[in-house]
Amino acid sequence: MENDSVLRRLKTIEGHLRGVTRMVEADAYCIDVIRQIQAIEAALNKVSSRILEDHLNSCVITAIQGNDKKERERVLKEISEVFEMSTKV
């Protein structure tokens, strides 16, 4: 995983979130606040997708190509759980 890129994106999102907090404190127009929150959610989803892609291309491939059946089952179960949780949000 490219930690520098992910960390840079997360710090940007963190700054954006602080901006939304200031908007709420200043009693900004609700729709403007919602739009900013949606932008933060989209940015977080992008970071999450990038981390998942890196995981699939490293840890999961290694486990699937390995000889340990339990490890293969474990990583596939993890991926299923991640997708299951994403539909509950």
| Domain carrying residue 53 | 3-88
Per-residue pLDDT, averaged over 58-82, amounts to 92
Give the predicted TM-score (pTM) of the model: 0.83
- Residue 1 pLDDT more than 90? no
pLDDT tens for 31-62 read 999 999 999 999 999 999 999 999 999 999 99
| Cα first-last separation, the chain | 25
**How many domains is the chain partitioned into structurally?**
1
Measured between alpha carbons, how far is 73 from 89 in angstroms, rounded to an integer? Answer: 25
Give the CATH number for residue 26. 1.20.58.1000
pLDDT at 89 exceeding the cut of 80: no
**Average per-residue pLDDT in the chain?**
94
